[in-house]
Amino acid sequence: MNYIAEVDSLTFRVEMIDDHHVRFGDHVIEIDLAALGGQPLYSLVVDGESYEAYVYPEESSWQVILRGNSYTVNVEDERDRRLKSARKFADTRVTEFVLRSPMPGLIVDLPVENGSPVARGDILVILESMKMQNELTSPVQGKVAGVKIKKGDSVDLKQVLLYVEKEQP
């Protein structure tokens, strides 16, 4: 399995050959990793040399303390990273945002109409559901390109409410 590891600002390609061998570039390293005593403390043996490291999970990374030095480590599967990159590229080519109802409910206000300019965060629709009013806002800047509902309409979950044509940079 191939991974991309980012340690602070350095990036490494890592190939897990098996449970005890890792390839860094042209070098194959023998490793053994074991958790110690239910703590965030790990024993790491690399090519016969022993290390102890504290490993703390954070929101989207790991904080590793090794030999008194602290490192921020991000590890991503190489395949997932390529897919994420492809999705970012595809997202930049999408020219229209489709607003769908996040829940069944009643349209209590529709402050926009076809052709209305909208900024990111502007209210597009106010939907009442379970006696609560929910403001549905625009995640993009552009103009309203197609309203499919009107005030007083009942809508279903995931029903298309309107389209916003994204402003192109």
Q: Over its length of 169 residues, how does the chain's per-residue pLDDT go in tens digits?
A: 788 888 888 888 888 899 899 998 788 999 998 888 778 898 989 999 999 999 888 877 889 898 888 899 988 887 776 776 666 555 555 688 889 888 899 999 999 999 999 998 999 999 998 888 989 998 889 999 999 999 999 999 889 999 999 887 6
Q: Write down the pLDDT at residue 36.
A: 86
Q: Write down the pLDDT at residue 61.
A: 83
Q: What is the rounded CA–CA span in Å between residue 37 and residue 12?
A: 30
Question: In which domain, by residue range, is 137 found?
Answer: 96-166
Element of type H or E holding 89: helix 78-93
Element of type H or E holding 23: strand 21-24
The model's pTM is 0.46
Q: Write down the pLDDT at residue 76.
A: 83
Q: What angle do CA 55, 61, 66 make, to 5 degrees?
A: 30
Q: Write down the pLDDT at residue 5.
A: 84
Q: What angle do CA 91, 95, 97 make, to 5 degrees?
A: 85
Of the candidates 101, 111, 113, the one whose C-alpha atom is nearest the C-alpha of residue 154 is 101
Please, are residues 86 and 140 in contact by the beta-carbon 8 Å criterion?
no
Do 71 and 100 sit in the same domain of this protein?
no
Do 76 and 115 sit in the same domain of this protein?
no
Q: Is 120 exposed, middle or buried (0-12, 13-18, 19+ CB in 10 A)?
A: exposed
State the CB neighbour count (10 A cutoff) for residue 158: 11
Q: Write down the pLDDT at residue 51.
A: 92
Tell me how many domains the chain contains: 2
Do 76 and 15 sit in the same domain of this protein?
yes
Do 58 and 118 sit in the same domain of this protein?
no
Q: Is 42 within the bounds of a domain?
A: yes
Do 150 and 105 sit in the same domain of this protein?
yes
